[in-house]
Amino acid sequence: MQEIPKVPRLGSLLATQFVASFLVLSPVAQSASTPFASKEMRTLDRATIDRITRLLEERIECVMRDQGSPGATLRSVTISTDDAVVRVDISKSYLPANVDYVGAELEDRLTALQNIVLGVIENALGYRVSQVLFLFDGRPLEFYYPNDFATQARSARKSEATR
């Protein structure tokens, strides 16, 4: 009986790539060599910021396509090294139509995008991010869902008043 030569299958190739990307992005895998998010963003030079921005744009656009956001486009990704804030500006068509509150679906979609940003900057590169801010046609989420955020602002004012 003749032995069949072993040829790597596409599935095992994809699994290998997945494991390799996990090791690059995983804080557990990196903890032995690089302290998790220990570097200040102020130390980044312009060329590095541009490379990180392009990488984030590619990954965010890919996730948006996978999420099935018809007509939604990524307008820009901006990294502010002074305050360690990453601003992700998406077209407002990304927001669910005919919904006047922030629902679980939108929260899940934004969390997936936020995880991309944190995965690249904090986990893979080791830089601290203080906030990932999402804008929609240049305006914050509060602009589109003022009732949701008015309640939060009132409860925050109440808790400050009782201190």
Count each helix (H run) and each strand (E run) in the chain, helices first: 6, 4
Rounded to an integer, what distance in angstroms lies between the CA atom of residue 17 and that of residue 154? 48
**DSSP β-bridge partners for residue 132:** 86
pLDDT for 42: 81
In a domain, 5, yes or no: no
The amino acid sitting at 144 is Y
**79 domain residue, yes or no:** yes
Whether 117 maps to a domain, the answer reads yes
Q: Which residues of 60-98 are buried (b: 16+ CB within 10 A; e: fewer)?
A: beebbeeeebeebebbebebebeebebbbbbbeebbeee
**Is 155 within the bounds of a domain?**
yes
Give domain status of residue 25, yes or no: no
Give the number of domains in the chain: 1
- Reported as a single tens digit per residue, the pLDDT across 104-138 is 999 999 999 999 999 999 888 888 899 999 999 99
Residue 140, domain member (yes or no)? yes
Domain assignment of residue 156, yes or no: yes
Per the structure, the complete domain to which residue 56 belongs is given by 36-161
CATH of the domain at 93: 3.30.300
Note if the pTM is more than 0.75.
Answer: no
